[in-house]
Amino acid sequence: MQTQAFAIEGNIADIFNKRIFPGIIKVENGKIVSITETANTNYTNYILPGFVDSHVHIESSMIIPSEFARMAVVHGTVATVSDPHEIANVCGMEGVEFMINNGKKVPFKFNFGAPSCVPATTFETAGAALDSNDVKKLLEKHEIKYLSEMMNFPGVLFKDEEVMKKIAAAHALGKPVDGHAPGLRGEQAKQYINAGISTDHECFTKEEALDKLQFGMKILIREGSAAKNFEALIDLLQDYPNKIMFCSDDKHPDSLVAGHINQLCARAVAKGIDVFNVLRAACINPAQHYKLDVGLLKEGDAADLIVVKDLQSFEVVQTYIDGKVVAENGTSLIECVDETTINKFDCDAIIEGDLKIPYNNESVIAVIEALEGQLITNKLFLKPLVKDGFIISDTTNDILKIVVVNRYSKAPVAKAFIRNFQFKKGAIASSVAHDSHNIIAVGVDDASITRAINLVIAEEGGVSCVSNTTEMVIGLPVAGLMSNKNGYEVAEAYTAIDKMAKELGSTFSAPFMTLSFMALLVIPHLKLSDKGLFDGDSFSFV
């Protein structure tokens, strides 16, 4: 229940003026009406603006927005800049509306974008398409704050008509355009940025980020469940405090239970980064860049604030949104929402024969090399293992079969090979497969892969794991991406299936998240779509 008028006392962080002072904040009707400095030197707690995740796909948490909010507020997050790109690729405009409407049912500040690339490429099968007219309609909505990541950077460089219309629509409405251009450097980066694209969360080296910063772009330091760029980029925050933000991009439910933006603050301060620069990246910069209705701890602002124990661990004691306590001492006070589902799934069970790869006297085969903590992959050419006229998984040399099944219509199964999953038995499968979210699976043999895929198909979406003796599946009935159950229960189930996947032999910190990106064609170098093996450098099939 919201208190109409109350006061909070503590050490107040004035980020704009880089000072901390003892004081009292008075709140009435959800707004800060006064901030008064006092002479009290006995305060041990600190009062800060709430944290903002500057780029996240809520869908990757496998829970709906209302559940994401329940879990995030415990860690001091009061708002997100959320790209509903994943559900849009499955359900189109209806999917975006679902996210907006569900988010409105809880006290949390979701700020959704208009997905710019649905489908992400023409080299995969998605469940929907949004053209420039659809994107313009979304951008005209108050709830839509920006044009989501423009992954089609070749379209920007070559001034594709549809791409330029989407960017122009955002600019006409005064809404920023998010970027997505991994590895783009020099003149091409400058051309991309000059098209009016303001951010990038895909930098994986300091040199790349510096290139883009010097051309006027803002850099989002990403630390998600699979893609981790914090260590490579965090030193930039000391020199570019006004141009850096923190984001998670894709965060699985178990990771969200453990922490959120607060963890990045603690790690940055531990590295010696000035605490005010850290708080600027975590609180101020996202709110200002995206023009969010989020309070920044000033008189007249919404009372979106947090109380933390100290400025080292950033352990959150209380979280307030619009003056309402939404989390206290590690417990969320937001209630679960009873939500219906939305989906698009038309896929029959497969048989082992669908997965066979005939041997055609190849001396080498193209193999995807997945990398820990990165979305990029390497392109290898390795000797195949052949049995009875077919190429099969080679567990001795860690070359496993990877397949993608079209979940929207009947089609041949796409098949290839991948290294670094290190399974010695079994398989995993998922209908969370960026960006079109067909079913992707990797395993040691056709029987295991078939079982894992058919578990997902039976649920009309989900993640599964099979061993020689055990099967486990988590159903994701909302677009094949999210559960509509209690987020903490989903996190517990995910922890169990993640543990099982690692017991198959994988050393990846997040094997399911890593697998989900092996169909992400817009990230180099080699990926697999439902239409075949794809070279991200030449933007063509192998």
**DSSP-assigned letters across all residues of 301-323:** SB--EEEES-TTT--EEEEEETT
Identify which of 398, 312, 344, 306 has the alpha carbon closest to the alpha carbon of residue 129. 344
| 406 and 537 within one domain | yes
Which pair of structure tokens corresponds to residue 89?
A: 């690729």
Q: Who's near 396: CB < 8 A, 6+ residues apart?
A: none
pLDDT at residue 537 in the model: 85
| Spans in the chain with pLDDT lower than 50 | 1-2
pLDDT at residue 1 in the model: 41
Angle at 358 between CA 352 and CA 360, to 5 degrees: 170
| 260 and 405 within one domain | no
Mapped onto helix, strand or coil, the DSSP state of residue 235 is: coil
Q: How far apart are CA 74 and CA 318, in angstroms?
A: 8
CATH code of the domain in which 131 resides: 3.20.20.140
Mapped onto helix, strand or coil, the DSSP state of residue 534 is: strand
Beta-bridge partner residues of 350: none
Domain assignment present for 192: yes
Q: Which helix (H) or strand (E) holds 269?
A: helix 261-270
Helix, strand counts (H, E) of the chain:
16, 29
| 358 and 289 within one domain | no
| 92 and 180 within one domain | yes
Q: Which amino acid is at 43?
A: Y
Q: Who's near 370: CB < 8 A, 6+ residues apart?
A: 377, 418, 419, 420, 421, 508, 514, 518
Which pair of structure tokens corresponds to residue 463?
A: 């993640």
pLDDT at residue 2 in the model: 47
Q: How far apart are CA 253 and CA 333, in angstroms?
A: 18
- Of 248, 277, 293, which marks where a domain is finished? 293
DSSP class of 111:
E
- Of 259, 293, 327, which marks where a domain is finished? 293
| 408 and 269 within one domain | no
Alpha helices in 106-243 (DSSP H): 132-139, 153-157, 161-172, 186-194, 206-214, 230-233, 236-239
Domain assignment present for 153: yes
Question: What phi-psi label fits residue 154: left (phi over 0), alpha (psi between -120 and 50 degrees) or beta?
Answer: alpha
- Of 245, 260, 293, which marks where a domain is finished? 293
Mapped onto helix, strand or coil, the DSSP state of residue 399 is: strand
Cα-Cα-Cα-Cα dihedral sign, residues 76, 79, 81, 82: positive
Identify which of 216, 124, 189, 205 has the alpha carbon closest to the alpha carbon of residue 534. 124
- Segments forming the whole domain that contains residue 502: 352-541
**DSSP-assigned letters across all residues of 153-167:** HHHHHTT-HHHHHHH
Domain assignment present for 88: yes
| 506 and 381 within one domain | yes
Q: How far apart are CA 205 and CA 213, in angstroms?
A: 12
pLDDT at residue 63 in the model: 98
Identify which of 518, 72, 96, 503 has the alpha carbon closest to the alpha carbon of residue 251. 72
Q: How far apart are CA 40 and CA 238, in angstroms?
A: 31
Domain assignment present for 38: no
| 249 and 358 within one domain | no
| 380 and 515 within one domain | yes
| 379 and 250 within one domain | no
CA 469 to chain CA centroid, Å, is 33
Domain assignment present for 320: no
Domain assignment present for 220: yes
Identify which of 50, 40, 31 has the alpha carbon closest to the alpha carbon of residue 9. 40
Q: How many domains does the chain have?
A: 2
Q: Which amino acid is at 349?
A: A
**DSSP-assigned letters across all residues of 44-61:** --EEEEPEEEEEE-GGGG
Indicate whether this model's pTM tops 0.85: yes
Q: Who's near 378: CB < 8 A, 6+ residues apart?
A: 368, 369, 371, 525, 526
109-114 and 144-150 strand pairing:
parallel
pLDDT tens string 113-143:
999 999 988 999 999 999 999 999 999 999 9
DSSP class of 224:
-
| 374 and 250 within one domain | no
Domain assignment present for 330: no
Domain assignment present for 532: yes
pLDDT at residue 222 in the model: 96
| 227 and 102 within one domain | yes
CA 372 to chain CA centroid, Å, is 16
Q: Which helix (H) or strand (E) holds 256?
A: helix 253-258
Tell me if 182 sits within 8 A of 154, measured CB to CB: no
Q: Who's near 42: CB < 8 A, 6+ residues apart?
A: none
pLDDT at residue 173 in the model: 98
Phi, psi for residue 494 in degrees, rounded to 5 = -65, -40
DSSP 3-state percent helix, strand, coil across the chain (nearest 5): 30, 30, 40
Mapped onto helix, strand or coil, the DSSP state of residue 41 is: coil
Can you list the positions of beta strands (E) in 57-137?
Answer: 77-82, 109-114
Q: How far apart are CA 183 and CA 205, in angstroms?
A: 9
pLDDT at residue 227 in the model: 84
| 378 and 278 within one domain | no
